[in-house]
Structure formats: structure tokens, C-alpha cells
Amino acid sequence: MTRTVFTGGSVFDGTGADPAPADVVVEHGRIVDVGTDLDGDEGVDCTGTVLLPGLFDCHVHVTISDIGLLSRVQKPFSYQFYEAARNLWATLGLGITTVRDAAGADLGIKQAVDDGLIPGPRLQISIGLISPTGGHGDAWNPSGLCVPLMVPHPGRPETTVDGPDEMRRVARTLLRAGADVLKVCTTGGVLSPRDDPRHSQFTPEELDVLVTEAAMQGRPVMAHAQGAAGIKNAVRAGARSIEHGIYLDDEAIELMLGHGTWLVPTLIAPVNVVRAADAGVDLPPAVVAKAREVVEAHRDSVRRAYAAGVRIAMGTDSGVGPHGTNLEELALMAACGMPPGDVLEATTSSAARLMGLDGELGRLEPGLRADVVVVAGNPYDFPALAANIREVWKDGIRVV
């Protein structure tokens, strides 16, 4: 097997330390050495570049490409799978080699990537969005018509539940369908016109059943949670991560610290809703009003959470906004007071820890899988980062 050495560049190893000159040697899809003056059978000239570990996005929706009501009802059912292939390719081109799909992708999409049928980041999937009747994932409209973002099908079962028994049944159904993580709405949201992000959804009893079912199969729970009360319910129940966290209060932050709960901020998500509305996308007025209202509260919550020491991993909610623009999130994280090294750590080794992959990915060190991103210029220049991606390697193979 060829021994490939990346020479002449600097290395950001994923730990948050600033880049330092080093070579990286890859063999059999693994990193076998990191240091200076290393050799190999083939060389990749990285002069003037910085090597990063493969990046992560811990909150995407690869089967969703737009949020407008009219465009959704006009697309054939199977079109979403071809869109997913396009969206995965756009994400991989940014150096993002691992994603967590927060509802939409089924086991077939994940397996197609794993088997090499389509190029893309490796996936962890949640398959569906568990919601109560009238909750964030309920597709009911005042007309009486239901227009879901994700239409149920054999690989993506219906996930609207009420009560502990239905919660148990749906949790087991999703796990049977191949879910790596279970996604639940413990509050309302921005895109659902008939609820409020500050209002709670699901009782502690229902959430306890969900977390118990997931834990019995060695699976975590990720909680769409925007209001403080619903965030606290999710944390107390044992959710591994809080997605969005728009209205964090001091008690919620303290609970997250005490339970070791992760925050996946998705700061770009409400910004993208506002952009879509300004561009003329057909969205309910209530949705647009909520998006405009939450932006600053969201940023303030992330600032306070980071300052308090809450563990943060990068996520974007891409699908709500365009796939292929994921790295816009990094500048927003930096604007919340995170130093550049911490932002990249949240996008590499911290994200790997959240997803339980830190023994395989997230750092450039011997023994780990050889996901390597070659960046021209300064990797801390986040607005220019996407344009500066020169090469992307996944498991020791150049894919971009």
C-alpha cells in the first residue's frame, strides 16, 4: 500500500492549538505519523497551506433543499434522493467529511455513501423528527392540509407521537429503521407556524421513555430545544445535545454544565430563514416574524454558554439554508466570542466527541482515519475558508 506524505505545510491538529509546521504520513487509510522531515512513497506538496482534520457538521438535513411551501408540493417524491446526492457532494467540497443528519436521510442514503455509490461525507442519521401533535414537526396547516418537510415512507416512518406508549413505539421503530441518534422536539420552532419556540413540548415522562429506549440500544438523543423550559426538560431527561438553544437562561446553562450536555448552536439557521423571506420565498408571516425575532437572542445565548464553559459542536441546519454554505457558521461562532482555534476545535475534535467518533476522527494524529483538508492561506480567515479549500481527503483517498 502506498505511503503518502503531506509535506511543506503546517498542521492544525484539532486540539485548538495554533497551526505548526509538520508533515503528515498516511497509509492504509490511516494517519501513521505526524512530525517534521518525514518521507513516503508519494508526496503531496502542501507548501503555503495548512492541513486540517476532516471537518464536521453536526446538524444537517440532506434531503431538504428549500423551505418554501409551494416548491415542496410540486416536487416528485423521489426527487429528494437525487437532491440529497447533490447536497452531500456540495458539503464534501467544503472539507466536511462527517455529518449528523437531523431528520430526513434514511438508511439507504447512508449506505449509498458507505458503499461508494455516491460521494459524500459519512453520515449519522436520525431518520425522523419526533414531535407531538401540534408540535414543531406536525405538518398540519390551518387549511387542514398537511405538508411535511419530510414525507413518511418505508425507510422514514411517521414520527408524530402523544404519550409514553407511543413514544416508546416510535423510538423502537426508528431504531429498527437504522437511526444512529434519535431526534426529538422539546419546544416549538421557527419554521412551524402554529407554535412558539419558547413553549415546551413533551412531558418529562415522555422524554424519559425516549432516552431510556435510546440508551438501551446504545444510542443518544438530540433535542431540538429553543425555549429555556424545554431545554431544561431535555437536559434533565439525559439528551446528549441541545440543538439551537435560542433562549438559554442561567439555570439551563448550569444544568448543561452539570450534565455535560452539548450545544449545537446552528446560528446561521434563523439568518437563512430571513434571507429566504427577503429573497421572496413563500413563507408564512408568522415564520418570518419569529426568525427575525430570535437572531439576537440566539447569539446572546451562545455567547453566555461559551463563556460559562458549555461544550459546543458546530452545526448549521443546512437544508433550512443552502447546502454548500455550511462554513458561514464559523464566522458567527467567532462573533459570539469564541477564539478561532476554539471554533475549529468545535468543528473537528469536539464534534467528533459529541458524535462518539473521537477514537477515529477529528484530529490529525497517528492511528486515526486519514481525513485531511488542505487549506490555502489562513484557516482562521473564516469568511474566505470555503474558497481556500484546495484538497479534501477522506480515509486517505483524495475526494475533492
116 and 251 fall within a common domain: yes
**Residue 237 to residue 224: CA distance in whole angstroms:** 14
HSE of 144 in the Cβ direction (CA atoms, 13 Å)? 0
* pLDDT score at 394: 98
161 and 14 fall within a common domain: no
187 and 232 fall within a common domain: yes
**Residue 392 to residue 400: CA distance in whole angstroms:** 5
Catalytic residue among 110, 183, 232, 394: 183
Distances (CA, A) of 363 to 28, 44, 232: 17, 19, 32
Catalytic residue among 57, 106, 138, 317: 317
**Residue 46 to residue 263: CA distance in whole angstroms:** 34
138 and 85 fall within a common domain: yes
* pLDDT score at 207: 98
Domains contained in the chain, number? 2
42 and 191 fall within a common domain: no
* pLDDT score at 148: 84
CATH code of the domain in which 108 resides: 3.20.20.140
Q: Is residue 175 in a domain?
A: yes
Could you write out the DSSP letters of every residue in 228-276?
A: HHHHHHHHHHT-SEEEE-TT--HHHHHHHHHHT-EEE--THHHHHHHHH
Q: Is residue 304 in a domain?
A: yes
Residue that is last in its domain, among 279, 304, 326 = 326
**Residue 183 known to be catalytic:** yes
CATH code of the domain in which 34 resides: 2.30.40.10
**pTM value?**
0.96
* pLDDT score at 128: 97
254 and 305 fall within a common domain: yes
**Residue 115 known to be catalytic:** no
Q: Is residue 332 in a domain?
A: no
264 and 384 fall within a common domain: no
278 and 160 fall within a common domain: yes
22 and 111 fall within a common domain: no
Q: Is residue 129 in a domain?
A: yes
Which amino acid is located at 344 in the chain? L
* pLDDT score at 71: 82
pLDDT tens per residue, the chain (400 residues)? 789 999 999 999 999 999 999 999 999 999 999 999 999 999 999 999 999 999 999 999 999 998 987 788 889 999 999 999 999 999 999 999 999 999 999 999 999 999 999 999 999 999 999 999 999 988 888 888 788 888 999 999 999 999 999 999 999 999 999 999 999 999 999 988 888 999 999 999 999 999 999 999 999 999 999 999 999 999 999 999 999 999 999 999 999 999 999 999 999 999 999 999 999 998 889 999 999 999 999 999 999 999 999 999 999 999 999 999 999 999 999 999 999 999 999 999 999 999 999 999 999 999 999 999 999 999 999 999 999 999 999 999 999 9
Q: Is residue 351 in a domain?
A: no
145 and 155 fall within a common domain: yes
Q: Is residue 321 in a domain?
A: yes
* pLDDT score at 5: 97
247 and 379 fall within a common domain: no
Residue pair 123/109 in contact by the 8 Å Cβ criterion? yes
59 and 188 fall within a common domain: yes
Q: Is residue 338 in a domain?
A: no
β-sheet bridge partners, residue 10:
21, 50
Which amino acid is located at 363 in the chain? R
Which amino acid is located at 40 in the chain? G
Q: Is residue 14 in a domain?
A: yes
Residue that is last in its domain, among 283, 301, 326 = 326
The residue segments making up the domain with residue 13 are 4-53+361-398
Residue pair 197/246 in contact by the 8 Å Cβ criterion? yes
